[in-house]
């Protein structure tokens, strides 16, 4: 094989992935950015409007209300998912009976589609035919509007999201826990450190890289939540569980203004980029746990 072929061969293997990334990620992103400066209803030609869409977005009370609810959802889902998945990982990292079976059971929800999860929980929490309300009424209590009361609806979608994704992040934490050498714990036990002290002084510091990955991925997933909300509450009652992605969808496909929807998508991308940069900045200031 000539030197030129040897040089080009690795790039040929990577080329299909690069093309897929360009076609389905980079080009749509650039096209969406261009559309954000236009008014387009799909039927007629796009009309350039400059920054009008962005000015309308930031002067819209509806946008700020939706953004507020989105942040409430994200700042509830991220810590709950983090704590739940870490607790499960710590439990299932111990030498207990049926450990492998329990790991599989906790991981199963993350393998289900959001549509299946949403339909299942609607059946469990429905007002008239829900299993929970049926049991409450049989026990002599009043039924609860789990999905039709604003405060309960927000709580339920947060709870279901944590239930659905905790098993996935549990596996990531398990990988991080198993990469920590037992030497640290043996030395700590010799020094008389309690289990709680070992957790705070050894486990958490050495899990910093894994924790950062979990927080970033959970945050991005939470901001992008769509199908689960659509199936469970359709954004209701009212707009109680309408988040940014649902609002973008409505502007694009129900109101027919793809330019405005594209501008909202760009704003969402900027929010995600800013929060991710802040998270990495905090992690970098905290230092590397392995140093």
Q: What is the CATH number of the domain that holds 105?
A: 1.10.3720.10
In 3-state terms, what secondary structure has residue 14?
A: helix
Tell me, what's the pLDDT at 291? 43
1 located within any domain: no
> Cα separation of 62 and 69, whole Å?
11
36: in domain:
no
Residue 266 domain-assigned (yes or no): yes
Domain membership flag for residue 91: yes
pLDDT digits (tens, 9 = 90+) for 248-286: 999 998 888 999 999 999 999 999 999 888 888 877 776
Mean pLDDT of 110-138: 89
> How much is the pLDDT for 287?
56
Whether 2 is in a domain gets the answer: no
Structurally, the chain folds into a number of domains equal to: 1
> Taking all residues of the chain, what is their mean pLDDT, rounded to a whole number?
89
Mean pLDDT of 28-33: 91
What local confidence, expressed as pLDDT, does residue 82 receive? Answer: 96
What pLDDT does 57 receive? 94
Range of the domain at 284: 60-290
User: Mean pLDDT over residues 136-158, rounded?
Assistant: 90
Q: Which residues contact 61 (CB under 8 A, 6 or more apart)?
A: none
Give the pLDDT score at 19.
93
Whether 16 maps to a domain, the answer reads no
| Residue 31 falls inside a structural domain | no
Is residue 227 one of the residues assigned to a domain? yes
**Residue 140 confidence (pLDDT) above 80:** yes
């Amino acid at each position: 094989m000539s030197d030129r072929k040897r040089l080009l061969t690795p790039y040929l293997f990577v080329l299909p992935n690069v093309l897929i990334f360009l076609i389905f990620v980079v080009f749509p992103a650039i096209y969406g950015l261009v559309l954000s400066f236009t008014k387009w209803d799909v039927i007629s030609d796009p009309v350039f409007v400059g920054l009008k869409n962005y000015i309308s977005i930031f002067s819209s009370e509806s946008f700020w209300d939706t953004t507020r609810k989105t942040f409430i959802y994200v700042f509830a889902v991220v810590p709950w998912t983090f704590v739940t998945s870490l607790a499960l990982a710590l439990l299932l990292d111990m030498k207990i009976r049926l450990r492998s079976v329990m790991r599989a059971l906790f991981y199963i929800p993350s393998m289900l589609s959001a549509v299946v999860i949403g339909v299942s929980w609607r059946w469990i929490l429905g007002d008239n035919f829900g299993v929970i309300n049926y049991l409450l009424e049989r026990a002599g209590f009043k039924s609860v509007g789990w999905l039709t009361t604003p405060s309960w609806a927000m709580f339920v979608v947060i709870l279901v999201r944590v239930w659905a994704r905790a098993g996935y992040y549990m596996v990531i934490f398990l990988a991080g826990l198993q990469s920590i050498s037992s030497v640290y714990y043996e030395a700590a036990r010799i020094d008389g450190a309690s289990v709680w002290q070992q957790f705070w002084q050894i486990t958490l510091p050495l899990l910093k890289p894994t924790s950062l990955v979990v927080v970033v991925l959970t945050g991005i997933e939470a901001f992008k939540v769509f199908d689960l909300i659509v199936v469970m509450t359709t954004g209701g009652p009212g707009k109680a569980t309408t988040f940014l992605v649902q609002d973008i969808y409505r502007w694009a496909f129900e109101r027919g203004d793809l330019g405005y929807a594209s501008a909202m998508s760009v704003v969402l991308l900027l929010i995600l980029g800013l929060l991710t940069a802040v998270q990495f900045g905090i992690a970098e200031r905290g230092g590397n746990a392995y140093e």
